[in-house]
Structure 1
Amino acid sequence: MMRTATAGAAIAIAAVSATGVAWAQSLDSAIDRGVQRTAQAQSQQDQIDEVFEQTQERLREYQDVQKQIDNLEVYLAQLERQVANQDRELTSINTSIEKVTLIERQVTPLMLKMVDALDQFVELDVPFLLDERRGRVDKLRDLMDRANVTVAEKFRTVTGAYQTEMEYGRTIEAYRGVLPGETEREVDFLRFGRVALLYQTLDQTRVGMWNPVSGSWEQLPREYVGQVTQAIRIAREQAAPDLVRLPIKTAETAE
């Protein structure tokens, strides 16, 4: 009986052992499959992560491109406004050019008349600084014939010459020049605006003045020598301003 029980126990143990081995093998197999599935899942997750990162990168690139497009649209809109303004300015400039051309056609004859009038004025005026003033008129005539000078510059020069002539009427001046006559001599001239033009010999012994009525030079009494000398010194800023007594002859006085 004991042997039979022992043998049965051995058989039972052997059966259990066989079952345990089979179960262990099955468990190992299940674990291997689980590990494989985990590895596959991890690989798939890595792929998903990679795809996600690529998607995010593409999204960022798209956003950057979209931002550039938005900026370009704003820039193009600004350019369109600038082009529109330039078109308006171009139209205005063309209109101005047409007006300038018209003005030039009108101003040029006027300037030529102004130069002629200035020439006549110098010849009929009190004969002071004649060489300088005649030379200025000659330069104006040469200027009017030059094609490389703008009409604006010509007009500015002509009006400048008129301004210079106007200044003569508000200033006093002493200068050295040649007194015309049968015997030309160097003298000191004294100009009081356009009211009086006098001269004094360099030895300060004789004085005279221009008579606008007769259109000639005439000698003054010696009593005016001191007055003319003092006036010349004042005009040259060699003496303080003071009152001087000088004869004044005008066409109105003669009448």
Structure 2
Amino acid sequence: MTKICSLWLLLLLCFPQIPDAREKDPEARMDATLSAAQKAQEKVEAFLQEEERQRQAIRALEAEVEALIYENHMLEKRMARQQERLLALEGEGEEAAGLARLVEPLLGDLLTFLEKRMEGLVPFRLEERKGRLQTLRSALEDGEMDTQSRFRRALEVVEAELNLGLFPDAAAATVAVEGEMLHGTLLHLGAAGLFFLSPDKALVARWSGERGLFLPLDATAARSVERAFAMVERRVPAGLIWLTLPEVP
């Protein structure tokens, strides 16, 4: 009895508009039944389509949940790695601070040494050299500059000083020769010394470190120095010069 009632309810749901068999002829009843069956089929298909859409939406949500879980996992790994880097940087910072405490006083001593050393060297390109020392001093006094940058500046100054006189070099200058201020050209020949040549080439002098002044050379030495000047200024082809110079105290 229960099964019959359920079947009857299902028929009522699927075929709600089946007309009374006593009201119409068999052909009309058949058309009405087919129409009702078609509508019922459309409802079933609509229900199935809706169910499929919901399943697809659920699958999309599940995929999004999996992606979020993976992303969260990767973020946790990145955060852990960044934390490790921060700890390493803190250790490096402490090590760098300790190194800076050792290096900074040495840079100050180096600056003092270079200033005293410059007083005993030949007076060649003094303005440039003093300017580099002043730049280094400013770097050491600059609270915003780190130790690495200060050390780099110090290396630049030391390199420039070591290269002084390594190759022949000429520069315009005003010097005192026998108590007279003269404009001319200085020629640095390294170990051979520092020489001065007047514009009219009438005077050639050599620097005396002990006496702290330029002393004129004799005619023979002056001609050799003049030729060296011409080679450095590329007015004549480079060649070998035999430069015989007297001892300059």
SS at match of 2:235: coil
Number of residue pairs the alignment of both structures matches: 228
Partner of 1:7: none
Deviation at 1:118, TM superposition (A): 0.8
Tell me whether 1:217 sits opposite 2:220 in the alignment: no
1:69-88 counterparts in 2 under 5 A? 69-88=65-84
Supply the AA of the counterpart residue of 1:209.
R
Structure number with bigger Rg: 1
| Cα separation, partners in 2 of 1:222 and 1:146, compared to 1, 3 Å | same
Which deviates more, 192-201 or 230-239? Answer: 192-201
Whether the 8 Å CA contact 2:176–2:213 is kept in 1: the answer is: no
Supply the AA of the counterpart residue of 1:139.
T
Deviation at 1:149, TM superposition (A): 2.8
Partner of 1:242: 239
Deviation at 1:116, TM superposition (A): 0.7
Deviation at 1:56, TM superposition (A): 1.1
CA distance in 1, matches of 2:188, 2:93: 46
Partner of 2:188: 191
Deviation at 1:31, TM superposition (A): 7.1
Which deviates more, 148-157 or 229-238? Answer: 148-157
CA distance in 1, matches of 2:247, 2:98: 44
SS at match of 2:180: coil
Tell me whether 1:124 sits opposite 2:120 in the alignment: yes
Partner of 1:11: none
- Structure with more helix by fraction: 1
TM-score, length basis structure 1:
0.77
Which deviates more, 116-125 or 168-177? Answer: 168-177
CA distance in 2, matches of 1:72, 1:41: 46
Tell me whether 1:56 sits opposite 2:57 in the alignment: no
Deviation at 1:53, TM superposition (A): 1.6
Which deviates more, 32-41 or 135-144? Answer: 32-41
Tell me whether 1:201 sits opposite 2:198 in the alignment: yes
Supply the AA of the counterpart residue of 2:65.
I
CA distance in 1, matches of 2:195, 2:244: 10
TM-score, length basis structure 2:
0.78
Identity %: 19
CA distance in 1, matches of 2:246, 2:209: 7
SS at match of 1:208: strand
CA distance in 2, matches of 1:202, 1:31: 133
Structure 1: runs of 5+ lacking an equivalent: 1-24
Deviation at 1:156, TM superposition (A): 1.3
Query: CA RMSD, aligned part only?
Result: 2.9
Supply the AA of the counterpart residue of 2:154.
V
Tell me whether 1:170 sits opposite 2:170 in the alignment: no
Supply the AA of the counterpart residue of 1:96.
E
Deviation at 1:224, TM superposition (A): 2.0
Partner of 1:158: 154
* CA offset digits 1:66-100 (Å, max 9, x no partner): 12222222222222222222122222222222222
| Cα separation, partners in 2 of 1:107 and 1:31, compared to 1, 3 Å | same
Of residues 88, 92, 107, the one that matches 1:111 is 107
CA distance in 2, matches of 1:64, 1:186: 89
| Cα separation, partners in 2 of 1:26 and 1:156, compared to 1, 3 Å | closer
Structure 2: runs of 5+ lacking an equivalent: 1-20
